[in-house]
Amino acid sequence: MKKQVILNEQHFDLTLRRLSHQLIENHNDFSETVLIGLQPRGIQVLTKLKEILENELGNQIRCGTLDITFFRDDFRRREKPLIPSVTNIDFSIEKKRVVLIDDVLYTGRTIRSGLDALLAFGRPSSVELLVVIDRRFRRELPIQADYIGKAVDTLTQERVSVEWLEIEGKNQVILFTPKEGHE
Amino acid sequence: MNNLSVENLIGIKDLTLEDIELIFTTADSFKEIINRPIKKVPSLRDITIANLFFENSTRTRISFELAQKRLSADIINFSASASSVKKGETLIDTVNNILAMKVDMVVMRHPNPGAAKFLSERVKATIINAGDGTHEHPTQALLDAYSIREKLGEVAGKKVVILGDILHSRVALSNIYCLQKLGAEVMVCGPTTLIPKHIGSLGVKVEHNIRKALEWCDVANVLRIQLERQDIKYFPSLREYAMLFGLNREILDSLDKELVILHPGPINRGVEITSEVADGKHAIILDQVENGVAIRMAVTYLLASKIER
């Protein structure tokens, strides 16, 4: 497996700051906006953005986490059952502007499930999508992100991993490529 | 995390500790879902389930039905009193006819012990046992243990007494297996005639004095006297039973500790438990009912994930 850093620590930090500023441009003081992180890996992005935004704006931002396990379209097409994580949205999203947050946008199927799962909490006035990495040209559904940290062109057999200081020990994004002749 | 080790849920006896823990973790998520404004997820929208009830039921039946609806499964309900069973059709024929209509899963309650196992060996569908005679009632035991875990934090190391008609109770047997697998100590308490002779071989304590049993335990699971299954008189009168084995406030107040009280329902108020205790703060009877839906969703979801298309 070949490893290639596509976003190093410095750029990682810059990218998240840029995403935060793009959010502020569109959402002003966030009074009508809620941020929803998709379980499991979107939560890290959400936590980081919330921290930056609250520092910049000086007010609390409403955030929730959403688990999409029971809304997936590959139930029973996998070897093992999907193990759910926690959903925590203790407010109604009725008439709110929702920003869905995830780390990597790939086939679009997770986001499709997320949209479905989200509707159980009300009818938002709009839903936007923010991702750190957009794996372009790999979409299986007509879904695109509104805020993109970095767009990369990848092959199906490659894997993109967004890593975090708190979990993996370093903020960075890595592209894994299988070596020729193996796998 | 792994799959369940079984293809059907016939009894707790067949489950491993890992199975039970997987069911509990999954039930935690479903409990959150059933407390949302929109209590439905689409996971089982391509699954059809038949609920076959050859014996009366209110709670279990509604609970299963609700669990299946919350998972978006298609369901058909069947009760023996309104069917061709009355015309002499055999169990296998009845079920195979229903399965011919492309049903994936069968939830069955039957008065004969072993009916669920019998069926699982002969038909091609996932079977969930919703009570087979005096044998097992696995989902009830799971929801009882789940409710104890919720109330006391864990089941391991806790002392649980099962009080009442042990002889005719499928809930008692399933509870014994389930609690023991989770590491709890189990005691049964009731009149000598209503305790099976060799129950001690399951590793449970036997006690005939309700006060001694209550002094020993942290949790009391109170069972109903199943008059409909009793072919002979096992005790002189219900009044005498209530006096000797009924759970009332006086006896609870005289203990220097607080017990958690469970009852699988239906309650015979004034017989095995007084209204005061059943509606009191120690009883978690209605929590059990709520948890029942979450547990049945978890079991149905996990077994459905093993169905191949």
Give every strand in the sheet of B260-262, ordered side by side. B205-207, B185-189, B159-163, B219-222, B260-262
Judgement on whether residues B142 and B274 belong to the same structural domain of the protein: yes
- The answer, for A91 touching chain B at a CB cutoff of 8 Å, is no
CATH number for the domain that contains residue B148: 3.40.50.1370
Judgement on whether residues B148 and B271 belong to the same structural domain of the protein: yes
For residue B172, being part of any structural domain is answered with: yes
Judgement on whether residues B124 and B187 belong to the same structural domain of the protein: no
Distance in angstroms (rounded) separating the CA atoms of residues B89 and B81: 13
Contacts of A123 in chain B (CB under 8 A): none
Neighbouring C-alpha atoms within 13 Å toward the C-beta of A64: 20
* φ and ψ of A113, to 5 deg: -65, -40
Partner A, chain B 47-106, Cβ-Cβ below 8 Å: 71
- The answer, for A107 touching chain B at a CB cutoff of 8 Å, is no
Model pTM? 0.86
Identify the pLDDT of residue B279: 94
Q: Which domain holds residue B109?
A: 12-137+289-304
Which of A80, A84, A119 has its CB closest to that of B2?
A: A80
Closest approach of chain A CAs to the CA of B173, in angstroms?
29
For residue B7, being part of any structural domain is answered with: no
For residue B55, being part of any structural domain is answered with: yes
The average confidence (pLDDT) of chain A is 89
- The answer, for B25 touching chain A at a CB cutoff of 8 Å, is yes
Which of B29, B41, B308 has its CB closest to that of A71?
A: B41
Contacts of B304 in chain A (CB under 8 A): 76
Query: How many domains would you assign to chain B?
Result: 2
Structure tokens at A179: 């070596």
- The answer, for B37 touching chain A at a CB cutoff of 8 Å, is yes
Q: How many CB pairs under 8 A join A and B?
A: 52
Judgement on whether residues B219 and B104 belong to the same structural domain of the protein: no
Confidence of residue A28 (pLDDT cuts 50, 70, 90): confident
For residue B264, being part of any structural domain is answered with: yes
For residue B309, being part of any structural domain is answered with: no
Give every strand in the sheet of A126-136, ordered side by side. A63-66, A33-38, A97-105, A126-136, A147-153
For residue B236, being part of any structural domain is answered with: yes
CA closest to A113 among chain B residues: B42
Judgement on whether residues B278 and B143 belong to the same structural domain of the protein: yes
Instruction: Write the single-letter amino acid at A125.
Output: S
Are A80 and A19 a contacting pair, CB within 8 Å?
no
Record: contact B26-A84, CB cut-off 8 A? yes
Judgement on whether residues B115 and B155 belong to the same structural domain of the protein: no
> What domains lie within chain A, and their CATH numbers?
2-73+83-177 (3.40.50.2020)
Say yes or no to pLDDT of A65 above 80.
Answer: yes
Closest approach of chain A CAs to the CA of B102, in angstroms?
18
- The answer, for A94 touching chain B at a CB cutoff of 8 Å, is no
Residue ranges in chain B modelled with pLDDT below 50: none
Neighbouring C-alpha atoms within 13 Å toward the C-beta of B251: 20
Structure tokens at A91: 């407010």
Judgement on whether residues B194 and B246 belong to the same structural domain of the protein: yes
Judgement on whether residues B169 and B257 belong to the same structural domain of the protein: yes
Identify the pLDDT of residue A81: 64
Q: What is the pLDDT of residues B142-188, one digit of tens each?
A: 999 999 999 999 999 999 999 999 999 999 999 999 999 999 999 99
Identify the pLDDT of residue B200: 92
Are B216 and B257 a contacting pair, CB within 8 Å?
no
- The answer, for B24 touching chain A at a CB cutoff of 8 Å, is no
Which of B25, B36, B301 has its CB closest to that of A120?
A: B36
For residue B2, being part of any structural domain is answered with: no
Distance in angstroms (rounded) separating the CA atoms of residues A86 and B32: 8
How far is the CA of A87 from the CAs of A70, A164, B60, in angstroms? 11, 21, 28
For residue B75, being part of any structural domain is answered with: yes
ipTM metric? 0.72
Distance in angstroms (rounded) separating the CA atoms of residues B52 and B76: 9
- Dihedral (CA of A104, A105, A106, A111) sign: positive
Q: What is the pLDDT of residues A137-153, one digit of tens each?
A: 889 999 999 999 999 99
Judgement on whether residues B157 and B26 belong to the same structural domain of the protein: no
Q: What is the pLDDT of residues A81-134, one digit of tens each?
A: 666 777 888 888 899 999 999 999 999 999 999 999 998 888 999 999 999 999
Burial B19-57, CB ≥16 within 10 A → b, else e: bbebbbebbebbbebbeeeeeebbbbeebbbbbbbbbeb
- Listed residue (B229, B231, B222) closest to B251, CA to CA: B222
Distance in angstroms (rounded) separating the CA atoms of residues B170 and B175: 8
CA closest to A118 among chain B residues: B38
Element (H, E) at B28: helix B17-33
Record: contact B40-A84, CB cut-off 8 A? no
Confidence of residue A80 (pLDDT cuts 50, 70, 90): low
Say yes or no to pLDDT of A183 above 50.
Answer: no
Cα A137–A142–A145 angle (5° rounding)? 75
Record: contact A69-B29, CB cut-off 8 A? yes
Record: contact A71-B42, CB cut-off 8 A? yes
Identify the pLDDT of residue B98: 87
Mutate to test the interface with A, among B4, B23, B25, B26 (most CBs of A within 10 A): B26
- The answer, for A109 touching chain B at a CB cutoff of 8 Å, is no
Identify the pLDDT of residue A181: 54
Are A88 and A64 a contacting pair, CB within 8 Å?
yes
Judgement on whether residues B145 and B266 belong to the same structural domain of the protein: yes
Judgement on whether residues B245 and B165 belong to the same structural domain of the protein: yes
Judgement on whether residues B37 and B129 belong to the same structural domain of the protein: yes
